[in-house]
Amino acid sequence: MSLLDVTIVNVAIPSMQEGLATSASTIQWVVSGYALTFGLTLVAGGRLGDTYGRRRLMVVGLVAFVVSSAAVGIAPNAELVVAARLLQGASAGLLTPQNSGLIQVLFRGAERGRAFGVFGLTVSLASATGPVLGGAIIALAGEEDGWRWLFLVNVPIGLVALVGILRLVPDRDAEGGGSSRERIDVVGAVLLGAAVLCLLYPIVSLEGGARLPLVLLVLVPPLLVAFVRWEHRLRRLEHAPLLDVALLRRTPGYAGGLSVGTLYFTGFTGVLLVLSVFLQDDRGFSPLHAGLLLTPFALGSAVSSLLAGRVVTRVGRRLTIGALLVMGSGVLLVALLVPGRADGDLWWALLPALLVAGIGGGAVVSPNLTLTLADVPPRMGGAAGGAVQTGQRLGSALGAALLMTVFQVSGLRAALLTAIGVLSLALAAAVVTRATGAAPPAATTADDG
């Protein structure tokens, strides 16, 4: 649910603007404000799970997510919709890092690869099927208020998931979490949160047409330097840091995998967004029709995610490299085949191209997670996984802003070629990471802390 809510609203932008009688810039905050608060709370949410128990944080995060989803659905005006959407994003940031943390604790070697394969399947399908589900819900519930059901549907699903958590997720003692007596690194959380805010807020504002917040970008480097120094100081004093930054230097594959994931989501997220806008605004398709045209990407991702999770421990980083090449080839096919094609022929142009792109994309997410977190100690699994997902959220926000800007200025083909350029950077990062020599996860032994 938390990842689906990143993309499901893309097809609802026109109906939300009409239903709430508000401006496009306000509706943009409904879309991007969620990503902003989501990214702000991921690392802190992961560290809270490491310390107080992932089951407890999953319950807290899920209850808050369900309540805030209901608040978005019933809000009478745009201002309250935006406020509830911000709370929903913060709740998602508490909930999602617990998943990768639990996988770190409960699985080893090839089993961990398969578990991350299922997790990667969830990530890929949630991202790729958002437009389809959003279009279907709006078609069933009606254009005027159908968008509200995009959020209200989270309530019954969330309640079922809550029962699942209470019945299936191990408690803190069983999962081997940290001591609840550890002090939470509040200063580190504030410094990192401020850095993420100064990076994400200008991006979100730029999508709405505001330029002044761009000055906040100059604060990002000093805030990150202050965060790193503070975390090193806590380690010297033998206190628990928010995120052990030594992971970036000492843990094989972690820094490289973080870069690959961030760059991949920068290139990937904007592709589906600009295609959705192109199909609806430029070609006049309904939200459901546009979503169905994007379905081949989801189908390809579903197939490759599970297969990739099964072979990643044998193939290693070569799998990520090959998958990025396939993904880039698929996007290139879309750029060559779709612009200028008649409406009736779009299905035959999009089906093979998006299927290829989906097969490549599905084989990026789960193997990269497996390889990135392979040597991370389980006691830091939540925070480390939260940092990886923060990179993904930053990449998603940046990619959406970048590709939409290029699309509005230069058209669909230029936007897709820009995405290929970013995916090429992800490919280069994967090649460098493999060259620096992280061992396949089956050959490594995680420190149980």
Residue 288 lies in a domain: yes
Residue 448 lies in a domain: no
- Determine the Cα–Cα distance for residues 194 and 342; give it in Å rounded to an integer: 47
| Number of domains composing the chain | 1
Predicted local distance difference test score (pLDDT) of residue 291: 77
Residue 22 burial (CB count, 10 A): 18
Range of the domain at 428: 4-443
Residue 330 lies in a domain: yes
Residue 411 lies in a domain: yes
State the CATH number of the domain containing residue 403: 1.20.1250.20
The dihedrals phi and psi of 87, each to the nearest 5 degrees, come to -65, -35
Confidence (pTM): 0.80
Residue 190, exposed/middle/buried by CB under 10 A (0-12, 13-18, 19+)?
A: middle
pLDDT block averages, 10 residues each, the chain of length 449: 80 79 78 81 85 90 96 91 92 89 82 80 75 81 83 93 92 52 76 85 72 86 90 81 74 85 88 86 82 85 84 88 95 92 85 93 86 77 79 82 86 94 94 73 43
Pick from 415, 120, 369: which is nearest to 269 by CA? 415
Distances (CA, A) of 205 to 29, 126, 191: 8, 25, 21
| 376 torsion bin: left (phi>0), alpha (psi -120 to 50), beta (else) | beta
Predicted local distance difference test score (pLDDT) of residue 208: 62
Residue 68 lies in a domain: yes
Residue 396 lies in a domain: yes
Pick from 249, 218, 254: which is nearest to 235 by CA? 249
Predicted local distance difference test score (pLDDT) of residue 443: 42
Predicted local distance difference test score (pLDDT) of residue 442: 47
Predicted local distance difference test score (pLDDT) of residue 158: 94
Between helix 97-106 and helix 109-141 the angle, nearest 10°, is: 150
Residue 338 lies in a domain: yes
Predicted local distance difference test score (pLDDT) of residue 74: 93
Residue 278 lies in a domain: yes
Residue 174 burial (CB count, 10 A): 12
